[in-house]
Amino acid sequence: MSMNNCKLNSLKDWEQWNQQFTLTVIAADLWEMIEGVKAPKWKPVESEISFYSCSTQTSTQSHSSQSQTVSEDSVDFTELSTESQKIYISVITLYKNKLKAYNNQQLVIQKLIDFIIQTVSSSYLKSCCNLKEKINVWYINLQKLAETFIIQEYDQVRDWYNKALQFLTKIKNHKKWITEWEMIIHFT
């Protein structure tokens, strides 16, 4: 995850910061999660081996005749039937794969959180990034703040534009008018 030295110190930095953040999120394959379209992966729960011991009652009955009682809490893999062992191995393999995917996602999310903490000014962190909220909420809050700024900036540029459109006959300082016009063109 590269950090292109872009900082969100003011809302004028939003476009560059947002582009870097978006590229980073897309590279991590988390864009749908950031948009809120897809939920993050849940931590999988490991299946209890005792669940698979039901099919081994015939074998446990033969063991109980030898004065060995098996409690449900302490079922050994070798006590399972061959079929139950195969199913349990498949379930555990699936669990391990899901756990690996979950852990990888958590690692990438933590890197994104670190990216935000390192690149967003402390005042924006305080106002937009509540530690109790998910990272997609952080992004939405930063985005709303930036959109508000962009609307205000647009209104200001529109006012400058309207002022610059005054008839040249009303303008007393033509050099000042040209400078203002050039500034407006630069902002648009």
What digits encode the pLDDT tens for the residues 49-96? Answer: 777 776 444 444 444 444 344 444 577 888 888 888 888 899 999 999
Residue 111 located in a structural domain: yes
3 or 151, greater pLDDT: 151
| Total domains present in the chain | 1
What digits encode the pLDDT tens for the residues 146-176? Answer: 876 656 666 666 666 666 666 555 667 777 7
Q: Which two tokens stand for residue 58?
A: 């015939």
Residue 46 located in a structural domain: yes
Which pLDDT value is given to residue 71? 46
Write the Ramachandran bin of 5: left for phi over 0, alpha for psi from -120 to 50, otherwise beta. left
Model confidence at 2: pLDDT above 80: no
Domain containing 26: what range? Answer: 11-149
Which pLDDT value is given to residue 180? 72
Residue 142 located in a structural domain: yes
Which pLDDT value is given to residue 43? 94
Model confidence at 140: pLDDT above 80: yes
Q: How many CB atoms lie within 10 A of CB 121?
A: 14
List CB contacts of 76: < 8 A, sequence separation 6 or more: 49, 70
Which pLDDT value is given to residue 59? 43
Residue 3 located in a structural domain: no
pTM: 0.62
Residue 19 located in a structural domain: yes
Q: What is the DSSP track for 18-54?
A: HHHHHHHHHHTT-HHHHTTSSPPPPPP-PPPGGGGGG
Residue 119 located in a structural domain: yes
Which pLDDT value is given to residue 177? 72
Count of H-run helices and E-run strands, the chain: 7, 0
Q: 104-111 long-range CB contacts below 8 Å, 24 or more apart?
A: 105/30, 105/40, 105/41, 108/1, 108/28, 108/30, 109/30, 109/40, 109/135, 111/1, 111/28
Residue 184 located in a structural domain: no
Residue 74 located in a structural domain: yes
Which pLDDT value is given to residue 56? 41
Which pLDDT value is given to residue 99? 96
Which pLDDT value is given to residue 84? 85
Q: Which two tokens stand for residue 183?
A: 């500034």
Q: What is the rounded distance in angstroms from the CA atom of residue 153 to the CA atom of residue 133?
A: 29
- The structure tokens 């993050």 sit at 40
Model confidence at 10: pLDDT above 80: yes
